[in-house]
Every structure is written in C-alpha cells, then in structure tokens.
C-alpha cells in the first residue's frame, strides 16, 4: 500500500479519537483510512472508483467491522452518509489526487506515460464523455477554458491549433496521440502533466463536485469537527479557501501545509487546509 502524501500531517490535524466517526471521502488505496482505523476511529470510506474500493477491502485485515465502504461521488456525501448512518461525524477528509494504482493504468488515460492507453480518464461510469471526446468534439473556446483555465498551460492556444489541424484527418484517441501533439509544439513534461490533469478535471467535473461536497460536508460534522482537504491544483485550493472565507469558518493553521521535497514528483504540489465549523 502506497503511503499517501501528508499522512503524518493529516493524522495530526484530524485528532482521531477512539470510536468517533470519520469520513474518508476519497479512499484511494486506503492509506488514510487505515491510519484512522489503527487509532480506533470508525470510518466511512467513499470512492468513485469501484476497483479501488474492492482492492482496499480485500487487502484490509483486522478492521473490517469498523469500516463501511461505498462506491460513489463525494458530491453525494450527504446521501451516502445518511444511508450509512454516518451523520454528526468528527472529521471529513478529502484527498483530491489520483492514486498510484490509477496512474499505473487501472484508469486508462490518466498517465501520460502509458502511450497505448485510450484517452478515457473517467473515474466512474457516471459520464459518457471521455477525454478523447473532448479533444475531438469541443470548439476552440471550450478547449481553451480547459487547457488554459484548468491546466494553467501558457501554450494552450498553440496546442489547440495543433489539435484542430490533426483531428480534421485523424481522431486523437490514445495517450500516444496526445503526446505527439504536445511534442510537436515543444511541450515538455510539465506541459504534459498540466494538460492531462486539466482533461481529467473536465471529464470528471472535479471543481463542481468539490464545491458541492464542501457545502454538504460542513453540515455533517459535529460542533468543533474538522474538515481536511488535500489539493494538488491552485484552482482546487482557491475553491477551498473561498469556501472557508465565504462561510466564516475557522482555519486551524496560519501557514499553508505543503508536501516535503521527498514526495513523488506528482505529489509535491500537495497542500493541506484544515478548518472547522466554529466561526472566526
């Protein structure tokens, strides 16, 4: 099991108490949930990827009577929690990154290194639209909103012009197809990372889901309960910061908590915010 980024910091700020309830809204490979269980907490684990849920449960030993696992979108966290009788919880954790397993190929198209993969990127079956559909069907304005807006890629206009030149004759279907576009315009690994991340965010409606989930999560925690959000994108972090300020919630640390330099390259952008439902 991969040790998730900022695990030590998450456990420190979550302040797990025995027999208290915690929601891990993004189970992934289960590193955070397992740590909460080991400290005596009760866990409701949610993930969009049914394979992640199945794999974690099958490999979990000794705590299966203390955890409830549900496949679903955390934008429905209120309904999932109600069905699982997990209301009035002590903490909710959102880790907005993708897992090592997903990057290695369990979700086709997430990694720019798996060139034969189809450009799918869907974390569940809720959407019929893939990354390939976006690249081959969207107009220039909407593609720019994704690549420049979500990906913060400075070469967005050049990339989009090249996409339109290529898709006239051949659809962009695989990771390799997109990589060749990015290579042709002189984009390096940072450009690859930004474009692939932007497409994943668009396919899975991640920003909208986060905004919806935060509104519902704050209603689930007990007075003084804590919400922790690990983000990997400046727009994600901005959504969280604006939510805290708009609702006059209390952030429990003065400085932004960030990953150390020893983290995996795709995890070094991780930043953690911790806040409670107590007013400022």
* pLDDT (tens digit per residue) in 191-243: 999 999 999 999 999 999 999 999 999 999 999 999 999 999 899 999 999 99
124 is in an annotated binding site: no
pTM value is 0.92
16-32, pLDDT tens digit by residue?
999 999 999 999 999 99
Domain boundaries of the chain, sorted by first residue: 7-101+207-279, 128-204
Kindly report the backbone phi and psi dihedral angles of residue 274, in degrees, each rounded to the nearest multiple of 5, phi listed first: -125, 125
Kindly report the backbone phi and psi dihedral angles of residue 196, in degrees, each rounded to the nearest multiple of 5, phi listed first: -65, -40
253 is in an annotated binding site: no
Q: What is the CATH number of domain 128-204?
A: 1.10.150.170
47 is in an annotated binding site: yes
137 is in an annotated binding site: no
Residue 1 — pLDDT band, cuts 50, 70, 90?
Answer: low
Q: What is the CATH number of domain 7-101+207-279?
A: 3.40.50.150
End-to-end CA distance of the chain, in Å?
38
30 is in an annotated binding site: yes
Between the alpha carbon of residue 234 and those of residues 66, 67, 116, 174, 230, the distances in Å are: 35, 32, 30, 27, 11
For residue 110, the SS3 value is coil
Q: Quick check: 221 and 90 in contact, CB under 8 A?
A: yes
Q: Classify the C-alpha dihedral 26-68-48-189 as positive or negative.
A: positive
78 is in an annotated binding site: no
């Amino acid at each position: 099991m991969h040790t998730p980024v900022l695990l030590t910091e998450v456990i420190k700020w979550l302040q797990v108490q025995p027999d208290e309830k915690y929601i891990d809204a993004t189970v992934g490979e289960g590193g955070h949930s397992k740590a909460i269980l080991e400290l005596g907490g009760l866990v409701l684990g949610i993930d969009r990827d049914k394979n992640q849920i199945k794999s974690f449960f099958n490999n979990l030993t000794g705590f299966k009577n203390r955890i409830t696992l549900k496949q679903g979108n955390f934008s429905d966290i209120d309904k999932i929690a109600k069905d699982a009788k997990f209301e009035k919880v002590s903490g909710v954790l959102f880790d907005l990154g993708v897992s090592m397993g997903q990057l290695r190929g369990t979700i086709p198209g997430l990694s720019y290194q798996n060139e034969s993969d189809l450009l799918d990127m869907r974390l569940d079956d809720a959407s019929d639209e893939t990354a390939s559909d976006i690249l081959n069907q969207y107009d220039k304005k909407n593609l720019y909103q994704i690549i420049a807006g979500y990906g913060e890629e400075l070469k967005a206009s050049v990339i989009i012009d090249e996409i339109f030149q290529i898709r006239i004759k051949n659809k962009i279907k695989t990771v390799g197809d997109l990589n060749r576009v990015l290579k042709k315009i002189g984009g390096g690994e940072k450009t690859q990372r930004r474009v692939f991340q932007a497409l994943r965010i668009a396919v899975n409606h991640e920003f909208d889901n986060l905004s919806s989930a935060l509104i519902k999560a704050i209603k689930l925690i007990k007075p003084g309960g804590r919400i922790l959000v690990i983000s990997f994108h400046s727009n994600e972090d901005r959504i969280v910061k604006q939510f805290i300020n708009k609702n006059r919630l209390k952030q429990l640390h003065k400085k932004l908590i960030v990953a150390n330099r020893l983290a995996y390259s795709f995890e070094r952008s991780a930043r953690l915010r911790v806040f409670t439902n107590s007013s400022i």
